[in-house]
């Protein structure tokens, strides 16, 4: 059996994460600092995410489009809050074609400004609303400390941008996008997430409010998986996006924007992975079934390979099945490799199995081996794949529950979180300054506001009347 080169999670979680990415062949750092090369196996995961998410976005009536990578400096400067939030981490193009540009161009850190300058020319009448647009693109934010998939200088994402006639419609759209992400996380990526509003401190620069999905990594840190913003009318006023209402009067639109990125791949790794490597929910696995033929002689080889090909053909055509028939590599090496790569089901077929008309099946989520009669394969595999998908979700949910705590007192919280990371629920009333102080002292921030109807509860920090129930955690 090939030796496992992966650091254990308990030894060093950060190193474990990097080892998994390397050994599962998902990505590597490029020669450009902070930028990653997503390798075919990792990119296939992104394609599966993209395909499913794109279907869901289109089902909501949102159309895809594409805007330029470059944004004129004057656009970025037009929305005050936005420029404050993003300017420090922007890359700026000053020269083109060998000459200094008349106006600097920002490499997009997000596309609100370039899109909304154009939106001001699109929506002329209430009949043109709502305007529902999505873009799949790359984004650049000059990060100082990077980690593949979780935080990189360049990353891939989708960004939805919508414009509506009323605040209520924008509220509904922001909530719809959050629900879409929540459902996608749960049913496609097997990720249990908390959802809710962000605190003022954590709100997107220029937004009325931000909604988010937050997952819990196996090291007890929170990871923001998706966001949805109600932008109010701030951008509409800065970019003059107006429409004529039914009475013929000019009104500013209400807007939303929402996105998920290649960070979802990092989230899958840190939520589902174990000491053996990646654990992929079947729906997002490049190969759901990997078949490994085992033989010694040429005669055995012919028989086994023929059997394996027939088996592959018998499976449902929608399943992603791979036969690993590479020569000169031992079955043990292949077993280990596909374990590290998180393939949900591995099937081993050798000459003895053929005689007994059975195969050996290994499931990655539980590391169990079982013998299955060849005749029952198709049925067993279909059943098992949905069972694995559900089990991976269930395990992650259990972990989340076991690592969610309630605290009533700040000092108690400070002690607990220094010992054990996790989601900490608390009643709260204080402002962003206190939140910053708490972050300085504990490294924890408010991840989501769970509830804003909390009559009769006391703030865990100051003892005043609580206005909300929040979740604190250290975050990626």
Q: Shortest approach of Zn ion to residue 102 CB, angstroms?
A: 51
Output 271 or 449, the one with its CB closest to Zn ion.
Answer: 449
Residue 443 token pair: 């490294």
Q: Which residue number, 139 or 429, has a Cβ lying nearer to Zn ion?
A: 429
Instruction: Pick the stretch among 156-164, 287-295, 304-312, 462-470 that binds Zn ion (CB under 5 A).
Output: 462-470
Residue 294 or 466 having the CB closest to Zn ion:
466
SS (H, E, C) the chain: CCCCCCCCCCCCHHHHHHHHHHHCCCEEECCCCCCEEECHHHHHHHHHHHHHHHHHHHHCCCEECCCCCEEEHHHHCCCHHHHHHHHHHCCEEEEECCEEEEEEEEECCCCHHHHHHHHHHHCCEHHHCCEEEEEEEEEECCCCCCECCCECCEEEEEEEEEEECCHHHHHHHHHHHHHHHHHHHHHCCCCCCEEEECCHHHCCCCCCEEEEEEEECCCCCEEEEEEEEEEECHHHHHHCCEEECCCCCEEECEEEEEEEECHHHHHHHHHHCECCECCCCHHHCCCCEEEEECCCCHHHHHHHHHHHHHHHHHCCCCCCEEECCCCCCCHHHHHHHHHHCCCCEEEEECHHHHHHCEEEEEECCCCEEEEEEHHHHHHHHHHHHHHHHHHHHHHHHHHHHHCEEECCCHHHHHHHHHHCCCEEEEEECCCHHHHHHHHHHHCEEEEEEEECCCCCCECCCCCCECCEEEEEEEEC
Select the span of 104-112, 230-238, 364-372, 459-467 touching Zn ion (CB under 5 A): 459-467
| Residues sharing a CB contact under 8 Å with residue 474, sequence separation 6 or more, in sequence order | 220, 221, 222, 417, 421, 442, 443, 444, 445
Task: Compare residues 96 and 464 and give the one whose CB is closer to Zn ion.
Answer: 464
C-beta of 204: minimal distance to Zn ion in Å?
Answer: 24
Q: List the one residue from 459, 470, 471, 475 that touches Zn ion (CB under 5 A).
A: 459
Q: How far is the CB of 468 from Zn ion (least distance, A)?
A: 10
CB 433, min distance to Zn ion, A: 11
Backbone phi, psi, residue 141, to 5°: -135, 125
Length of the chain: 476
The minimum distance between CB 460 and Zn ion, in angstroms, equals 8
For the CB of residue 446, give the shortest distance to Zn ion in the complex, in Å.
12
As measured in angstroms, the least distance from the Cβ of 436 to Zn ion is 14
Answer yes or no whether residue 461 interacts with Zn ion by CB under 5 A: yes
- Minimum distance from residue 210 beta carbon to Zn ion (Å): 21
Query: For Zn ion, which is the closer residue by CB, 150 or 429?
Result: 429
- Residue tagged 């540009």 (tokens): 101
CB of 407 to Zn ion, least distance (A): 13
**Contact flags string 46-85 toward Zn ion, x per CB under 5 A:** ----------------------------------------
* Binding to Zn ion, residues 385-444 (CB under 5 A): 429-430
- Toward Zn ion, which CB reaches closer, 318 or 411? 411
| Least distance from Zn ion to the Cβ atom of residue 467, Å | 8
Shortest distance, position 195 Cβ to Zn ion, whole Å: 24
Interface with Zn ion, residue 264, by CB under 5 A: no
- Residues in Cβ contact with 355 at an 8 Å cutoff, skipping those fewer than 6 apart: none
Strands 92-96 and 131-140: unpaired
Pick the binder of Zn ion from 40, 47, 462, 465 (CB under 5 A).
Answer: 462
Nearer to Zn ion, 296 or 455 (CB): 455
- The burial of 299, by beta-carbon neighbours within 10 Å (0-12 exposed, 13-18 middle, 19 or more buried), is given as exposed
Task: State which residue, 264 or 459, has the beta carbon closest to Zn ion.
Answer: 459
Nearer to Zn ion, 101 or 430 (CB): 430
Task: Name the segment binding Zn ion (CB under 5 A); options: 105-113, 217-225, 356-364, 464-472.
Answer: 464-472
Decide: is 107 part of the binding site for Zn ion (CB under 5 A): no
Nearer to Zn ion, 249 or 440 (CB): 440
- CB-nearer residue toward Zn ion: 88 or 463: 463
Sheet holding 321-323, edge to edge: 321-323, 289-293, 345-349, 358-363, 368-373
Q: Which stretch binds Zn ion (CB under 5 A): 164-172, 276-284, 391-399, 455-463?
A: 455-463
Question: 83 vs 449, which CB is nearer to Zn ion?
Answer: 449
Tell me the residue number closest to Zn ion, measured at CB: 459
- Minimum CB distance to Zn ion, residue 177 (Å): 31
Interface ranges with Zn ion (CB under 5 A): 429-430, 459, 461-462, 464
């Amino acid at each position: 059996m090939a030796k496992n080169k992966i650091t254990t999670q308990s030894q060093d979680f950060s190193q474990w994460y990097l080892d998994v990415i390397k050994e599962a062949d998902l990505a590597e750092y490029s020669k450009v600092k902070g930028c990653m090369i997503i390798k075919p196996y990792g990119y296939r995961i992104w394609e599966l995410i993209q395909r499913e998410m794109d279907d869901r976005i289109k089902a909501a009536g949102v159309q895809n489009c594409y805007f330029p990578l470059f944004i004129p400096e004057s656009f970025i400067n037009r929305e005050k809050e936005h420029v404050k939030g993003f300017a420090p981490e922007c890359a700026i193009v000053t020269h083109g074609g060998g000459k200094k540009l008349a106006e600097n161009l920002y490499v997009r850190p997000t596309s609100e400004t370039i899109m909304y300058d154009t939106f001001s020319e699109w929506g002329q009448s209430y009949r043109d609303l709502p305007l529902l647009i999505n873009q799949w693109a790359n984004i650049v934010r000059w990060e100082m400390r990077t980690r593949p998939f979780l935080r990189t200088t360049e990353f891939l994402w989708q960004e939805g941008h919508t414009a509506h006639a009323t605040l209520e419609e924008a509220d509904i759209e922001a909530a719809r996008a959050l629900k879409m992400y929540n459902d996608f996380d749960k049913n496609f990526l097997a990720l249990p997430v908390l959802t809710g509003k962000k605190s003022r401190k954590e709100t997107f620069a220029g937004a009325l409010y931000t909604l988010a999905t937050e997952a819990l990594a196996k090291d007890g840190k929170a990871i923001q998986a998706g966001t949805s913003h109600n932008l109010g009318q701030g951008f509409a006023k800065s970019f003059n996006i107006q429409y004529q209402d039914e009475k013929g009067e000019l009104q500013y639109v209400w807007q939303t924007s929402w996105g998920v990125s290649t960070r979802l791949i990092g989230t899958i790794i840190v939520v589902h992975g174990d000491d053996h490597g990646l654990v992929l929910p079947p729906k997002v696995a490049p190969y759901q079934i990997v078949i490994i033929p085992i033989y010694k002689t040429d005669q055995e080889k012919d028989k086994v390979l023929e059997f394996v090909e027939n088996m592959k053909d018998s499976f449902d055509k929608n399943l992603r099945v791979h036969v690993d028939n590479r020569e000169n590599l031992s079955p043990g090496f292949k077993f280990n490799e596909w374990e590290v790569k998180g393939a949900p089901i591995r099937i081993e077929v050798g000459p003895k199995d053929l005689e007994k008309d059975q195969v050996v099946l290994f499931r990655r989520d539980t590391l169990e081996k079982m013998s299955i009669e060849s005749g029952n394969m198709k049925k067993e595999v279909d059943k098992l794949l949905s069972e694995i998908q559900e089990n991976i979700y269930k395990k992650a949910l259990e972990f989340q529950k076991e690592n969610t705590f309630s605290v009533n007192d700040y000092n108690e919280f400070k002690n607990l979180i220094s010992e054990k990371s996790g989601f900490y629920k608390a009643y709260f009333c204080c402002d962003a300054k206190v939140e910053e102080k708490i972050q300085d002292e504990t490294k924890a921030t408010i991840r989501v506001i769970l509830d804003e109807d909390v009559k009769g509860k006391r703030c865990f920090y100051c003892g005043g009347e609580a206005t909300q129930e929040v979740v604190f955690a250290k975050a990626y």
